[in-house]
Amino acid sequence: MLNRRQLEGYLKKIQVVRAPKRRLATFGASRIDYQIVTDVTGFFDRSRLRTGIVAAERPQIILARSAADQFEGFGPDSGRYADALAGHFGEALRGLEYNFRNETASSRVELQAPDIYLKMLADRVDAEGGYHTVLLSATDKFWELALMKFIVEETLASFSSNVRELKEHGLFDTDEDRLQARHDEIRRLLREARVSKELIPALGAKLKEYGLFDMYQDDFFRLVNP
């Protein structure tokens, strides 16, 4: 089991060389193409490249679970890595209602030192745009830990913008908030209809849709029969 000091040492060696230019989606699953470059034990002039897809998605049903239950496809040590990350991120990780899944596509050794090979790949990602691609540098033994750390950090970084999007869709509104918004919309339509009579039918339709016609019928009929 990794202790805190060991974990922090390995986490410091993980580098996001190129991050995706687009954040995770608020609704549905997000998939990010990854490339991880690591050392090859015993060969300073060689690199190992792993590619694949890492996904973050909201489960259909939220159940009580441990951090390890959130990760799938990250290797036989993913359980202890997840526990270690839970200690590193604290309540932030426990509060993420996401499942994370790794689908490794390929692994190969390149006859170049990691720093040189990383520079070449970074230039390629820049040329291609890199909207859904991450390029990581890590230690070969703990490459799954690097990928797990990245997807958790990316989810946390996306959270604030996701909250704004959820608010824009009214998903945090109470019944009182929604009722107030409807009244505000009707009052705005009343003001606009006094200037542009062609808006009266739209106002009438909204009053019926919202069930507010009785409350605003005097104002509506004054527009119809001034």
What is d(CA 83, CA 2) in angstroms, rounded to the nearest whole number?
Answer: 9
pLDDT (tens digit, 9 = 90+) per residue, 76-86?
A: 888 888 887 87
pTM: 0.63
Contact 132, 69 (CB under 8 A): no
Contact 84, 150 (CB under 8 A): no
What is d(CA 89, CA 7) in angstroms, rounded to the nearest whole number?
Answer: 12
Q: For residues 167-187, give the mean pLDDT.
A: 69
What is d(CA 21, CA 209) in angstroms, rounded to the nearest whole number?
Answer: 41
Burial 123-146 (b: 16+ CB within 10 A, else e): eebeeeebeebbbbbbebebbbbb
- Cα pseudo-dihedral 154, 157, 158, 163, rounded to 10: 150
Q: Is 28 a residue whose pLDDT tops 70?
A: no
pLDDT (tens digit, 9 = 90+) per residue, 129-176?
A: 777 889 999 989 889 999 998 888 887 776 655 445 444 545 445 567
